[in-house]
């Protein structure tokens, strides 16, 4: 079985080996050493909190303001086969998640909920819940998969984590496996038959008022967003909207990619009896420890130490109420970043992003992730998942090991796991376009038809 164990806890038991005649000199020595160590620790603590740093140019302090409201890429759309609208979900810490809800037609014409407190469970609903990977948000390529699923008749909910995109939360761009899994739990709880359902309108004071529904046929678009190239300004006109307050589903599938490919495994293991019928884990992060070891090989010792020190620096400043510390989400191989990529792969990463990104997104995230990542090992939760799982791996992926994914798929206990290896995927970010995308989508739709019950 593939399992990542935590390192043993060191034994700090002290043994008294001081002889009587050594007592005086030992006390003096210990006092001097303790004083010296205390001074060093104080100095290091001050440095950790305030800086300055010899690599200040590689980090940013605060100043990451949330640009509220919608962009042309996130507003409501109607196509011949589905409609897409913004909805809202209550999250932890009194925050609110913003999401897209895809309604396949004729469902989009038939649904109208008047009382949010009533039991609005759409019995024929088969809903796929989706969220992005490390530092990503829904307007960065997820529409390609969601459009395809909705065109096949599935309901789809694509949400942004707290502090990303249209979701509330400060400081912005807080990448945290723990927080992300909490957001997955909030969405699952809201959508399951006994949950509170979705909100058609935002309730958090930080949210802008909801934009009107729009009419735009984006069904054949394959660009950076489904509304960005096939729709002109004249296409965006107000139409009547359906109230989906209280919307819940009878059967759910979880879909994650990269880091969220690990999140869906943790979420499925924690919600075994909550209407989860299938899990799709694409190019998943399965082991934080393995990822940290790979990063050490890429960054080297100096770069790894920088990342660790900056993580402590960020946490220390947050405890004192000072501005947060940001590190690049992606960068070149000679830059300090959470993901260091060759130039050609870096270009692919940005190619799936729209020109204007919701929330004022920039490729920077809180440095504190460095303290959490090594301890995050979703592969350890495989044995607790009851729903069937489809793993999708890129054969030449350098970020999320296809060998580890293959091993996990072949060793997942009593549940049914499947593996789709995509040979045409030249790297981690090839999965969002071209033939690799087509291969992956075909495998996913086949899996969903067998396990999520294709809607009639």
Q: What is the pLDDT of residue 34?
A: 63
Residues 101 and 30 in one domain: no
Residues 125 and 233 in one domain: yes
- How many distinct structural domains can be found in the chain? 2
Q: Are 127 and 253 in contact (CB under 8 A)?
A: yes
Q: Is residue 353 part of a domain?
A: no
Residues 113 and 26 in one domain: no
Residues 37 and 176 in one domain: no
Q: What is the pLDDT of residue 204?
A: 85
Residues 274 and 399 in one domain: yes
Q: Is residue 431 part of a domain?
A: yes
Q: What is the pLDDT of residue 122?
A: 62
Q: Is residue 302 part of a domain?
A: no
Q: How far is CA 7 from CA 186, 289, 381, 425, in A?
A: 31, 10, 18, 34
Q: What is the pLDDT of residue 273?
A: 72
Residues 133 and 29 in one domain: no
Residues 45 and 178 in one domain: no
Q: Is residue 269 part of a domain?
A: yes
Q: What is the pLDDT of residue 416?
A: 87
Residues 42 and 178 in one domain: no
Q: What is the pLDDT of residue 51?
A: 63
Residues 44 and 187 in one domain: no
Residues 380 and 252 in one domain: yes
Q: Is residue 312 part of a domain?
A: no
Q: 151: exposed, middle or buried (C-beta count within 10 Å: 0-12, 13-18, 19+)?
A: middle
- Indicate the pTM of the whole model: 0.83
Q: Is residue 177 part of a domain?
A: yes
Domain span holding position 433: 77-288+373-453
Q: Is residue 163 part of a domain?
A: yes
Q: Is residue 417 part of a domain?
A: yes
Q: What is the pLDDT of residue 236?
A: 33
Query: Could you list the pLDDT tens digit for every one of the 456 residues in the chain?
Result: 556 554 443 333 333 343 433 334 333 444 456 656 666 656 566 666 666 566 667 899 987 889 999 999 999 999 999 999 999 999 999 999 999 999 998 754 444 433 333 445 565 689 999 999 999 999 999 999 999 999 999 999 999 999 999 999 999 999 999 999 999 999 999 998 888 899 988 888 887 544 444 445 544 443 334 443 334 333 333 333 467 888 898 899 999 999 999 999 999 999 987 689 999 999 999 999 999 999 999 889 989 999 998 999 999 999 999 999 999 999 999 999 999 999 999 999 999 999 999 999 999 999 999 999 999 999 999 999 999 999 999 999 999 999 999 999 998 866 689 999 999 888 999 999 999 999 999 999 999 999 997 544
Least Cα distance to 165 among 208, 129, 228 occurs for 208
CATH classification of the domain holding 83: 3.40.50.1820
Residues 217 and 264 in one domain: yes
Residues 41 and 123 in one domain: no
């Amino acid at each position: 079985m593939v399992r990542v164990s935590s390192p043993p806890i060191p034994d700090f038991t002290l043994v008294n080996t001081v002889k009587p005649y050594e007592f005086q000199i030992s006390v003096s020595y210990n006092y001097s050493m303790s004083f010296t160590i205390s001074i060093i620790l104080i100095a290091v603590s001050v440095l950790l909190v305030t800086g300055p740093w010899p690599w200040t140019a590689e980090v940013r302090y605060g100043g990451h303001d949330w640009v509220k409201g919608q962009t042309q890429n996130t507003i409501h759309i109607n196509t011949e086969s589905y409609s897409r609208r913004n909805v809202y979900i209550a999250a932890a810490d009194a925050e609110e998640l913003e999401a897209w809800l895809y309604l396949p037609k004729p469902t989009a014409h038939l649904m109208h909920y008047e009382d949010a407190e009533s039991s609005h469970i759409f019995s024929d609903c088969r809903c796929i819940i989706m969220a992005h990977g490390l530092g990503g948000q829904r307007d960065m390529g997820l529409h390609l998969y969601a459009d395809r699923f909705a065109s096949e008749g599935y309901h789809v909910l694509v949400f942004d984590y707290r502090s990303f995109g249209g979701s509330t939360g400060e400081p912005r761009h807080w990448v945290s496996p723990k927080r992300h899994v909490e957001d997955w739990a909030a969405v699952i709880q809201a959508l399951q038959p006994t949950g509170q359902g979705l909100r058609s309108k935002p309730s958090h004071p930080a949210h802008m008022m909801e934009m009107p529904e729009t009419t735009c046929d984006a069904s054949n678009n394959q660009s950076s967003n489904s509304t960005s190239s096939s729709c002109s300004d004249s296409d965006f006109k107000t139409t009547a909207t359906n109230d989906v307050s209280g919307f819940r589903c009878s059967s759910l599938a979880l879909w994650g990619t990269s880091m969220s490919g690990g999140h869906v495994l943790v979420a499925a293991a924690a919600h075994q009896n909550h209407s989860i019928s299938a899990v799709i884990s694409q190019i998943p992060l399965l082991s934080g420890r393995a990822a940290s070891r790979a990063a050490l090989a890429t960054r080297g010792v100096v770069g790894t130490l920088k990342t660790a020190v900056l993580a402590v620096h960020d946490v220390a400043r947050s405890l004192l109420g000072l501005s947060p510390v940001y590190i690049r989400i992606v960068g070149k191989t000679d830059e300090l970043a959470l993901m260091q990529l060759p130039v050609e792969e870096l270009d692919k990463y940005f190619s799936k992003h729209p020109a204007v990104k919701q929330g004022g997104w920039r490729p920077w995230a809180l440095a504190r992730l460095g303290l959490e990542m090594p301890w995050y090992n979703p592969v350890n939760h495989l044995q607790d998942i009851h729903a069937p799982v489809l793993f999708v791996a890129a054969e030449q992926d350098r970020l999320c090991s296809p060998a580890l994914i293959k091993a996990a798929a072949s060793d997942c206990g009593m549940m049914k796991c499947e593996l789709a290896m995509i040979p045409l995927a030249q790297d981690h970010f090839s999965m969002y376009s071209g033939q690799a995308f087509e291969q992956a989508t075909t495998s996913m739709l086949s899996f969903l038809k067998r396990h999520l019950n294709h809607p009639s």
